[in-house]
Amino acid sequence: GSTIGILGGGQLARMLAVAAARLGLKAHVYDPAPAAPAGQVCYRLTTAAFGDTEALVAFANAVDVVTYEFENIPTESLDAVEAIRPIHPNREALRTSQDRLVEKRFLAELGLATAPFAAVDDAATLDAAIAEIGLPAILKTRRMGYDGKGQARLNAPGDAETALQSMNGAPAILEGFVDFSREISVIAARGLDGRVAAFDPGVNEHADGILRRSTVPAPGLPARMRTDAVLLAGRILNALDYVGVMGVELFVTPGELIVNEIAPRVHNSGHWTQNGCAVDQFEQHVRAVAGWPLGDGGRHSNVVMENLIGDDMDRVPDLARDPACAIHLYGKAETRPGRKMGHVNRVTPRAD
C-alpha cells in the first residue's frame, strides 16, 4: 500500500511518519489531539476520538494498511477498522500484550521464563498469591500501565492492603520480584513473508520508572545470552504470526533470561537504531506493515541513547555542540516533568 494509517500521534508515530515519507509513502495519523507530535510531519491528521466509529471507518477507507503506536487502543475501535483494512501487528498480538496476565500466560505456554505470577482481584486472591509466590513481589494493574505507573512493591505482608488499594479496584497481577543484574531489550521485526530480523540487544537503565538510557552493544553481556535473547524474540514473533516491529524487555539473571514484557510496536529502547543501523526500527516497521522486504538489523556503530525528559530540554544547546550527538526532538509544545521530549544518540564507530 502507499498510505499507512497510524493510530496514535505521539513521538513513535512521528518517527514512523518520517520513515514512511522517506520510503515515498504517506502517513495518515489518527489522534484526538490537534497538537499531537506526529501531526506536524504526517501527510494527514484525523483528530477524532478513538471511540468514534464513523471517523474510524473514514480513516480506514482512506488508507491501505493500519498500524498503531500504542497498545492501549480500545479493541472495539479496531473492529470497525479491521472490517475494512488489514491491521499489523494483528489483533491477537494486541490482545496478548494489552493484559499482563494474558501476556504472561502466553509466554509461559511458549516455554519462556517469566517472573512467577498470579491473578489478583481482591484481598483474598492477593493473600493466596502472596502465599504462592512469596515476597518481595510487585502488584501491577493488568491493563494500561506504562512507565512503571500502576505498580506497587510489597516487601512485607503488611504492605498488602495499601498495595491493593492503589489498584483502585482494577484487575491486577502479582509478580515475584526478579533479582536481576540488569535489564536488556531486543527489538525484532517479522515481515509479511515470515522472515525475522533482530537488532542487537541493548542494556536499559531506568530512573523513576522511565527509561533513561540504552547502550548498544550491551557491555559484558555474554554472547550466549545475546543469541538467546534474539532467538526467543523470534519465537514470540512466530507464535503470534506477527507482522511489524516488537520490543521484548528481558531481565538478566545468572542462569537465564526472564521475559518481563512485550510491546507490539516500535520501542523507546530501539531509538538507538536511528544512528546505529542502515535500516532503523521505524523504517523496519513501515517496511513490514507495507509488505516490503526487511533490513537485516545489522549495526554499523555503537550507540548510547539518552532520553530527554522534562527539563533535560535545557541541555539541548550544549548537546548540539557535540558533533557525535544525533539529536531527535518530538516538537512537544509544553515541557512537563516526566514527559519524554526527545532523545540523543551518542555514536562511536563499532569496535566489537
Give the residue with the Cβ less far from ligand ATP, 82 or 147: 147
What part of residues 237-256 is at the interface with Mg ion (CB under 5 A)? 249
Q: Is position 151 annotated in a ligand binding site?
A: yes
Q: In degrees rounded to 5, what are phi and psi of residue 95? A: -60, -40
Question: First vs last Cα of the chain: how many Å apart?
Answer: 39
- Ligand-binding annotation for 316, yes or no, is no
* Residue 43 near which of Mg ion, ligand ATP, none (CB within 5-8 Å, type-dependent): none
Minimal distance, residue 308 CB to Mg ion, in Å: 19
3-state secondary structure 231-265: HHHHHHHHHCCCCEEEEEEEEECCCCEEEEEEECC
8 is in an annotated binding site: no
d(Cα 278, Cα 276) in Å, to the nearest integer?
7
User: Is 79 annotated for ligand binding?
Assistant: no
The C-alpha cell of 210 is what?
A: 522511565
Length of the chain as a residue count: 352
Q: How many CB atoms lie within 10 A of CB 128?
A: 14
Angle, in degrees to the nearest 10, between helices 53-62 and 75-82:
40
With CB under 5 to 8 Å by kind, the binding choice for 147 among ligand ATP, Mg ion, none is ligand ATP
Q: Tell me if 140 is assigned to a ligand binding site.
A: yes
Binding site residues, ligand ATP, CB under 6 A: 115, 138, 145-149, 175, 177-178, 183, 206, 209, 249, 260-261
Residue 263 in contact with residue 285, Cβ under 8 Å? Answer: no
Pick 178 or 325: Cβ nearer ligand ATP? 178
> What residue 264 binds from Mg ion, ligand ATP, none (CB within 5 to 8 A, per partner kind)?
none
- Give which of Mg ion, ligand ATP, none residue 177 binds (C-beta under 5 to 8 Å, depending on kind): ligand ATP
- Closer of 56 and 263 to ligand ATP (Cβ): 263
User: Measured at the alpha carbon of residue 260, what is the angle toward residues 184 and 306, in degrees to the nearest 5?
Assistant: 40
144 binds, among ligand ATP, Mg ion, none (CB under 5 to 8 A by kind): none
Instruction: Put the strands of the sheet holding 44-46 in their side by side order.
Output: 44-46, 26-30, 3-7, 65-68
Asked if the peptide bond before residue 89 counts as cis, ω within 30 degrees of 0, the response is yes
Taking the complex as a whole, the smallest distance from the CB of residue 304 to ligand ATP amounts, in Å, to: 18
Min dist. Cβ of residue 239 to ligand ATP (A): 20
Residue 188 CA to residue 202 CA, distance in Å, equals 12
| Smallest distance from ligand ATP to CB 340, Å | 10
Q: Which is nearer to ligand ATP, 45 or 184 (CB)?
A: 184
Q: Which is nearer to ligand ATP, 56 or 248 (CB)?
A: 248
- Please, what is the minimum distance in Å from the beta carbon of residue 261 to Mg ion? 5
Q: How far apart are CA 133 and CA 139, in angstroms?
A: 12
Q: Judging by DSSP bridges, how do beta strands 196-198 and 182-190 pair with one another?
A: antiparallel
Q: Name the residue nearer to ligand ATP (CB basis): 69 or 249.
A: 249
State the nearest-atom distance from the C-beta of 198 to ligand ATP, in Å.
Answer: 19
CA distance 273 to 169: 40
Identity of the residue, 37 or 145, whose beta carbon is nearer to ligand ATP in the bound complex:
145
The least CB distance from residue 229 to ligand ATP, in Å, is: 15
State the nearest-atom distance from the C-beta of 142 to ligand ATP, in Å. 11
10 Å CB burial of residue 43 (0-12, 13-18, 19+) is middle
- Cβ burial of 54 (10 Å; 0-12, 13-18, 19+) is exposed
255 is in an annotated binding site: no
Q: Does the annotation list 149 as a binding residue?
A: yes
**Measured from the CB atom, is 2 or 75 closer to Mg ion?**
75
Binding-site annotation, residues for ATP:
100, 140, 145-151, 175-178, 183, 206, 260-261
Task: Write out the residues near Mg ion by the rule CB under 5 A.
Answer: 249, 261
